[in-house]
Amino acid sequence: ARGSLIGSWRGDKVGILAGVSAQRLFTDTRGFETIGYTNPALSAAQCGAASGCNTTGGGNWTIPAVVPVGAGAGLVAGTPITSAFLLANNPGATIQQIDNALLPRLGRSTSIRGPRDRINAIISAEWQPSDTLHFYVDGLYGYKKNDLTRENMAWIVRNGAIIPTNLTFDKADCTIGCVVTGGTFANAQFFNEFRPYTETTKLFSINPGGEWEISDTLKLNLQGNYARSTFHRENPSVGLTTPLGVGNTVTYSNDGSGIPTIQSALDLNDPANFGWNPGSRVNISDERRLNKSKGARGDLTWGKPALNLKIGGAFDDVSRRISSNDNSQAYQNAVCGNNPSVFVASPNSQPPCEGLNAPGVIPAGYPTYPGFGTGSTAGMTGPVTYGGSLVPNSAAPSYLTPGPAGFVTVDWPKFAAATNYDFYHDNSPESGASTTGASGGGIREVVKSAFATVNGEQDLGGNMLRFNVGVRYVNT
């Protein structure tokens, strides 16, 4: 929906022009994306007699040395995965093809949906109380808010441990790389990344000015300007994963006719298939931007067109600041890291995100922070205890629902309330970089200047000769 209104009014000495425009759009975009393509990094046993393995493609995933329990695809747990195993389970393929053929590094179905609103208004007014006085002001206001949910379901190839079977390729010679066109992958895992993000932008600008003809030979001009704009993006994320060891497989097809097909044996729209499994995480991050500009300028002219002196000056102050806040690790520790009573920043060890609910005692393998109270934590007192994850692994599916894009979605209001999101968000410390990729920091420039010119015009042989000479001073 959209609409606009514009109007004007004029009197003997005053005139006003004003307008407003508003719009609300609803976005629902579905698609596929992948953060690059990659191939496996084969071990010596998997490379076998072949030479020159791992020379192309990045090698961003590793085939396990042995078949893990519950890998699926009929594979027997404990079987060594050697070059002979790979050739036997990929009939017609060569080790060179298996080594160099590319898969989506993080292939994922993506959904972006939600409302986008904006409103803009302008006003311009003039007042001319006499023939020698003229005042004006122009103003502008803009507001925009995007309240979107971005989520995707990613097949974990990057840093994963899938096992390829029945591979097919786009060409036989993979010396410098080729593409997987089909296959079945055992030991598969998926990652659901849910990210609501709210973006708010505001802009205000005003530009007043005036002219005064003091006499026939003296004229004064003055102008001012002020503008301020802000941008705020709040984008937490919740990333739950499917478990390993449950026999999940992926049937993959990329025949070149469209986007690749990644078919999971697990129902990815069933909340029961997700939890705080390896690779899970949560994040809290914000970015804020502030831009300001203000200035004034004026000039005084003495004389007539034939010969006059003009003096003036200007002042401009322009600044921009980008700040980012991040409290991801502390939030994650509370949500799925068994909720330690203290937060000690990296490089100190952090508890794993596995949804453990073991209040009281410190579980085996979890950090005890024996140096707490010294160094950067001097003056703080213990003891270090654990209160149990705010969202235990057993309860994680209860915060999910079947989603409109064919995979699960997070009940964000319920999850935020259960995890004390507002507290961790409001107490986020500043960080050096933001999720938009911008680095935090500020820049400001102040410029002062003055000038003087002599101007004139004279008739010379029936032609008009115009001339000027002047000086200028600028300080930045």
pLDDT digits (tens, 9 = 90+) for 200-210: 999 999 999 99
Residue 57 in domain: yes
pLDDT digits (tens, 9 = 90+) for 419-432: 999 999 999 999 88
d(CA 25, CA 1): 7
d(CA 273, CA 264): 12
Residue 368 in domain: yes
Q: What is the C-alpha R_g of the chain?
A: 33
Q: Phi, psi at residue 418, to the nearest 5°?
A: -70, -25
Give pLDDT, residue 231. Answer: 97
Give pLDDT, residue 216. Answer: 93
What range defines the domain where residue 113 resides?
A: 2-129+150-191+237-279+327-441
d(CA 61, CA 56): 13
- Among 263-267, 421-425, 458-462, the minimum mean pLDDT is found in 458-462
Residue 183 has pLDDT above 90, yes or no: yes
Residue 49 has pLDDT above 80, yes or no: no
In this prediction, residues 459-463 reach a mean pLDDT of: 87
Give pLDDT, residue 289. Answer: 96
Percent of the chain with pLDDT over 70: 100
pLDDT band at 375, cuts 50/70/90?
confident
Give pLDDT, residue 54. Answer: 85
In this prediction, residues 32-60 reach a mean pLDDT of: 87
In this prediction, residues 460-473 reach a mean pLDDT of: 92
Give pLDDT, residue 359. Answer: 95
When the pLDDT of each residue in the chain is averaged and rounded to a whole number, the result is 95
Residue 436 has pLDDT above 90, yes or no: no
Residue 316 has pLDDT above 90, yes or no: yes
Contacts of 138 (CB under 8 A, 6+ apart): 122, 123, 124, 206, 207, 208
Q: How many CA atoms lie within 13 A of 217 on its CB side?
A: 7
pLDDT digits (tens, 9 = 90+) for 380-404: 888 899 999 999 999 999 999 999 9
pLDDT digits (tens, 9 = 90+) for 278-296: 999 999 999 999 999 999 9
Residue 162 has pLDDT above 70, yes or no: yes
pLDDT digits (tens, 9 = 90+) for 138-148: 999 999 999 99
Per-residue tokens: 369? 């922070």
Give pLDDT, residue 50. Answer: 62
Q: Are 224 and 296 in contact (CB under 8 A)?
A: yes
Residue 75 has pLDDT above 70, yes or no: yes
pLDDT band at 435, cuts 50/70/90?
confident
Residue 472 in domain: no
Residue 178 in domain: yes
pLDDT band at 51, cuts 50/70/90?
low
Residue 377 in domain: yes
Residue 413 in domain: yes
Residue 349 in domain: yes
- Output b/e per residue, 443-473; b: 16+ Cβ within 10 A: eeeeeeeeeebebbeeeeeeeeeeeeeeeee
Give pLDDT, residue 208. Answer: 98
Residue 423 in domain: yes
Residue 443 has pLDDT above 90, yes or no: yes
Q: How many domains does the chain have?
A: 1
3-state secondary structure the chain: CEEEEEEEEECCCEEEEEEEEEEEEEEEEEEEECCCEECECCCHHHHCCCCCCCCCCCCCECCCCECCCCCCCCCCCCCECCHHHHHHHCCCCCHHHHHHEEEECCCEEEEEEEEEEEEEEEEEEEEEEECCEEEEEEEEEEEEEEEEEEEEEEECCCCCCCEEEEEEECCCCCCCCEEEEEEEEECCCEEEEEEEEEEEEEEEEEEEEEEEEEECCEEEEEEEEEEEEEEEEECCEEEEECCCCCCCCEEEECCCCCCCEEEECCCCCCHHHCECCCCCEEECEEEEEEEEEEEEEEEEEEEECCEEEEEEEEEEEEEEEEEEEECHHHHHHHHHCCCECCCCCCCCCCCCCCCCCCCECCCCCCCCCCCCCCHHHCCCCCCCCECCCCCCHHHHHHHEECCCCCCCEECHHHHHHHCCHHHHHHCCCEECECCCCCECEEEEEEEEEEEEEEEEEEEECCEEEEEEEEEEEEEC
In this prediction, residues 337-356 reach a mean pLDDT of: 94
Residue 352 has pLDDT above 80, yes or no: yes
In this prediction, residues 245-252 reach a mean pLDDT of: 97
pLDDT band at 376, cuts 50/70/90?
confident
